[in-house]
């Protein structure tokens, strides 16, 4: 069967005249799809094959017509012009691949040099006394991405400390569907890789993270060192996934004068200690000072 008769047969299979427009082909194919959806797939295969043959032929014809129009302005030089275009089309991928590889090397080298410079800068800084993760619908009052003012306000009540680091991880109060899930996954990754000692959270973030095993049980501390200043309403209990009993994992310090001095916009502040925190004592001392402040 030659190409013309093959194409005519395809139109016949769809029940269309051989001059049917693309819109008619698409409409007819949709109807047949619905008609054959409950029938064996082998019965529908000739229809699918005919549809692919017709649309492929129409696309090829359209492309050829556009090519003719494109090179018509060259008149007698249309053939050579098309060959030149073909040459660049064939080798453009290789040229681009080479450029991309070169750019990748340059970017990688810059990243390595920047990493080394950052490591050298950090090595000159004093050791960290406390690492803090700010988790929730918060924003620093400093320049975007700059946490230096926030870090200074966190360290201010503790003159004996040399350095406090802060990591801001934004979680919206209201669920934004897939976006919120992505932010939560990013926060979990940061918790695992950065390993903060202390969490500053809003209510929604505390409710979310308290279900995990990230927070330390503060029952004993609430009955001992924190007891003189801790009100019952400030001790926030929750259940973790592997423990059905309620325990204290958060301390509400929203009304603490120190909370008001933080370079951070917030409507409430809950403190929690990371389970297995490297600077556990400093984290508990931080909570103690916020409760004691008048």
Considering the domain architecture, whether residues 62 and 27 belong to the same structural domain is answered as yes
Considering the domain architecture, whether residues 174 and 209 belong to the same structural domain is answered as yes
CA distance 98 to 251: 57
Considering the domain architecture, whether residues 235 and 113 belong to the same structural domain is answered as no
Q: What token pair was written down for 272?
A: 């929690």
DSSP state of 87: H
Considering the domain architecture, whether residues 148 and 49 belong to the same structural domain is answered as no
The count of other CB atoms within 10 Å of the CB of residue 265 is 10
Q: Is residue 146 exposed (0-12), middle (13-18) or buried (19+ Cβ within 10 Å)?
A: exposed
Considering the domain architecture, whether residues 232 and 268 belong to the same structural domain is answered as yes
Tens place of pLDDT for every residue, the chain, 294 residues? 557 788 899 999 999 998 899 899 888 888 888 787 777 778 888 888 998 899 888 888 887 777 677 656 555 544 555 555 554 454 555 656 667 777 777 777 777 777 677 667 656 778 999 999 999 888 777 666 688 899 999 999 999 999 999 988 888 876 667 777 777 888 877 777 888 999 999 999 898 888 888 899 999 999 999 999 999 999 999 988 777 889 999 999 999 999 999 998 888 899 999 999 999 999 999 999 999 998
Which of 97, 130, 124 is closest to 286 using CA atoms? 130
Considering the domain architecture, whether residues 31 and 172 belong to the same structural domain is answered as no
Are β-strands 198-201 and 270-273 bridged in parallel, bridged antiparallel, or unpaired?
A: antiparallel
Considering the domain architecture, whether residues 220 and 274 belong to the same structural domain is answered as yes
Q: What token pair was written down for 179?
A: 């976006």
Residue 276 phi, psi dihedral angles, 5° rounding: 80, 25
Considering the domain architecture, whether residues 138 and 279 belong to the same structural domain is answered as yes
Considering the domain architecture, whether residues 80 and 106 belong to the same structural domain is answered as yes
Which of 148, 154, 156 is closest to 266 using CA atoms? 154
Considering the domain architecture, whether residues 86 and 216 belong to the same structural domain is answered as no
Q: Count how many domains the chain has.
A: 3
Considering the domain architecture, whether residues 180 and 41 belong to the same structural domain is answered as no
Which of 197, 207, 205 is closest to 166 using CA atoms? 197
Structural domain span for residue 9: 3-74
Can you tell me which residue has the tokens 């490591």? 119
Q: Of the residues 84, 99, 121, which one is the last residue of a structural domain?
A: 121
CA distance 75 to 72: 5
Considering the domain architecture, whether residues 229 and 87 belong to the same structural domain is answered as no
């Amino acid at each position: 069967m030659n190409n013309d008769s093959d194409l005519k047969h395809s139109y016949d299979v769809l029940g269309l005249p051989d001059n049917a427009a693309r819109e008619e082909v698409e409409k007819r194919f949709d109807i047949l799809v619905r008609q054959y959806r409950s029938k064996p797939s082998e019965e529908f295969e000739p229809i699918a094959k005919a549809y692919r043959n017709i649309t492929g032929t129409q696309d090829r014809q359209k492309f050829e017509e556009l090519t003719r129009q494109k090179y018509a302005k060259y008149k007698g030089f249309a053939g050579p012009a098309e060959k030149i275009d073909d040459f660049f089309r064939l080798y453009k991928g290789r040229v681009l691949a080479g450029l991309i590889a070169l750019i990748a090397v340059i970017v990688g080298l810059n990243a390595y040099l920047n990493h080394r410079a950052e490591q050298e800068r950090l090595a000159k800084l004093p050791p960290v006394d406390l690492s803090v993760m700010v988790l929730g619908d918060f924003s620093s009052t400093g320049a975007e991405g700059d946490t230096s003012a926030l870090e200074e306000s966190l360290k201010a009540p503790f003159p004996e400390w040399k350095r406090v680091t802060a990591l801001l991880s934004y979680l919206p109060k209201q669920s934004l569907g897939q976006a919120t899930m992505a932010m939560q996954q990013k926060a979990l990754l940061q918790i695992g890789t950065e390993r903060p000692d202390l969490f500053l959270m809003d209510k929604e973030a505390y409710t979310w993270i308290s279900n995990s095993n990230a927070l330390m049980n503060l029952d004993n501390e609430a009955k001992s060192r924190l007891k003189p200043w801790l009100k019952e309403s400030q001790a926030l209990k929750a259940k973790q996934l592997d423990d059905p009993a309620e325990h204290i994992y958060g301390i509400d310090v929203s009304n603490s004068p120190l909370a008001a001095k933080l370079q951070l916009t917030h409507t409430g502040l809950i403190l929690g200690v990371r389970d297995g925190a490297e600077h556990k004592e400093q984290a508990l001392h931080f909570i103690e000072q916020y409760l004691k402040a008048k």
